[in-house]
């Protein structure tokens, strides 16, 4: 599965898009677990002490922030879905 990273996350993963070897029926929560296992430095960027995504971190599935999907972070990612992960970003 391809995952796109942005802004300050890119130097940590070493590029824009990274391929992750995950089985079918992987949920957003499971995918994030796989990601932080492969890139341990991401753990403190993405997850709070309880292991939940920070509110300012965005895991988009087809442009929609996972917590707002009907099944939240338990949403199963389908083949062909676009996954984008952003740290806190804003400007104006």
* Residues of the shown chain interacting with other proteins in the complex, contacts defined by CB under 8 A: 6-8, 10, 16, 54-56, 58, 60, 62-65, 68, 82, 84, 86-92
Query: Nearer to other proteins by C-beta: 16 or 37?
Result: 16
Q: Report the residue number, 35 or 85, with the smaller CB distance to other proteins.
A: 85
Of 59, 65, 69, 61, nearest to 35 by C-alpha is 59
Closer CB to other proteins, 21 or 90, in the complex = 90
Pairing assessment for the beta strands 58-61 and 83-86 based on DSSP bridges: antiparallel
């Amino acid at each position: 599965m391809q995952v796109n990273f942005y802004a300050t996350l890119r130097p940590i993963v070493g590029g824009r898009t990274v391929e992750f070897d995950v089985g079918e029926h992987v949920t957003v929560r499971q995918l994030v677990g796989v990601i932080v296992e492969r890139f341990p430095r991401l753990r403190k960027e993405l997850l709070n002490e309880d292991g939940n995504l920070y509110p300012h971190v965005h895991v988009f599935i087809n442009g929609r922030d996972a917590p707002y999907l009907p099944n939240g972070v338990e949403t199963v990612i389908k083949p062909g879905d676009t996954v984008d992960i952003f740290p806190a970003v804003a400007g104006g």
